[in-house]
Amino acid sequence: MKIDTLNLIIEGKEFSFGGGEGNGLQLDCGRSLPEVNISYETYGELDDSKSNAILVCHALTGNSHLAGRHSPDDSAVGWWNCMVGPGKPFDTDQYFIVCSNVIGGCMGSTGPCSINPDTGKPYRMDFPVITIADMTRGQKKLMEHLGIGKWLSVVGGSMGGMQALQWSVSYPESVGSVMAIATTSHLSPQAIAFDWVGRLAIMSDPAWNNGNYEDDLPESGLAIARMLGHITYLSDESMRRKFGRRLQEKENYSFDFSKDFQIESYLEHQGHQFVERFDANSYLYMTRAMDYFDLAPDGDLREAFAQSNSPFLVVSFSSDWLFPPENSREIVKALRNNNIEVSYCEMESAYGHDAFLLETETLGGLMADYLRARKADME
């Protein structure tokens, strides 16, 4: 079945589990979610052997809407639309693509906005703290629901890459290959610091009200958190090329504290757009999950990958200072020390961390070639 994801109207799907004793999702924090909903989308068709399935994991502010539109008048297509469709890297004539919203999110899967079955009210800050491993546990339940025994590949960039790495160590027999893009085996102290300041901006907003907001949303705090995070996704070179020190609709400085520079207006716009589609409490939970992610808490990354047995493609970008190339090289070294097949590419790019969403032509060609090789190996 050929589909054009530019014009495709895709309907979201849901999978729920739990509701009975011991049937929920046990979490790393020691608590459990008694009832869990997973929002997901699929593209292409699962073949008779069920060997062509690919899991794409989204980044921090992403969701399950990978490609296409939700309605004819939808102004935006899915977040990796250029990668999904006939003849594209994730070729829907060959592969069955699955993308789910992670637990803790606010795009359909169970998170702080969801109803707590024990109280009949939204969880809000009573939602348990989650980890990247908890996210993959939910995805594993979805995998079983879909009747898939082994992914052809698990793919992700940034936080999605963390999930892909976690899959390789938690469920090695369920993973045919891994494509880990612009990611890391653990956050640096600097990245944790940025996350903390972003969360503090939200929690310092009076409208946050200890997470118990309804009509009066903590828009200011969430917008500031987004602006701070967005700076880390860019590079100095990309900002210099796009904005420089150009003024915003002015010929001279205002000599007050209004927006003088284009970069200031750009960040404010990003913040305002973000609060229209994302939940502040989810931002707290998901950034905390990234903080806690550490494949090798004892410092031995080689040992962390000891049970992994699938080949890897690891990609980094030269100007990514949030998850710099040395993070990827550490992963590659640990894999090679376990005699695990790994291909590594450090791409030249001025886009910073966002390069995995913007360098789609080069990255897409690399991933398409890699998938073809993996598919041939499994046949």
| pLDDT at residue 251 greater than cutoff 90 | no
| CA nearest neighbour of 230 among 161, 158, 331, 131 | 158
Task: Provide the pLDDT for residue 72.
Answer: 83
Q: Residues 28, 133: contact at Cβ < 8 Å?
A: yes
Q: Rounded to an integer, what distance in angstroms lies between the CA atom of residue 48 and that of residue 134?
A: 30
How many contiguous H segments (helices) and E segments (strands) does the chain have? 11, 12
- Give residue-wise pLDDT tens across range 130-177: 999 999 999 999 999 999 999 999 999 999 999 999 999 999 999 999
| pLDDT at residue 22 greater than cutoff 80 | no
CATH (residue range 13-187+295-378) = 3.40.50.1820
Task: Provide the pLDDT for residue 1.
Answer: 30
Residues in the chain, how many?
379
**Annotated active-site residue in 58, 65, 186, 353:** 353
**Annotated active-site residue in 64, 153, 158, 177:** 158
Q: Rounded to an integer, what distance in angstroms lies between the CA atom of residue 84 and that of residue 68?
A: 9
| pLDDT at residue 31 greater than cutoff 80 | yes
CATH (residue range 192-287) = 1.10.1740.110
Task: Provide the pLDDT for residue 3.
Answer: 38
Confidence grade of residue 184 (pLDDT, cut at 50, 70, 90): very high
Active site residue 353: yes
Task: Provide the pLDDT for residue 378.
Answer: 78
- Give residue-wise pLDDT tens across range 42-54: 999 999 999 999 9
**Annotated active-site residue in 320, 328, 349, 354:** 320
Q: Rounded to an integer, what distance in angstroms lies between the CA atom of residue 109 and that of residue 334?
A: 33
Break the chain into its structural domains and give their ranges.
13-187+295-378, 192-287
Residues 102-113, mean pLDDT to the nearest whole number: 97
Task: Provide the pLDDT for residue 23.
Answer: 77
Confidence grade of residue 292 (pLDDT, cut at 50, 70, 90): very high
C-alpha radius of gyration, the chain, whole number: 21
- Give residue-wise pLDDT tens across range 70-100: 888 887 899 999 999 999 999 999 999 999 9
Confidence grade of residue 5 (pLDDT, cut at 50, 70, 90): very low
Q: Rounded to an integer, what distance in angstroms lies between the CA atom of residue 107 and that of residue 126?
A: 19
Confidence grade of residue 4 (pLDDT, cut at 50, 70, 90): very low
| pLDDT at residue 2 greater than cutoff 70 | no
Question: pLDDT exceeding 90 applies to what percent of the chain?
Answer: 91
Angle between helical axes of 189-203 and 219-233 (0-180°, round to 10):
160
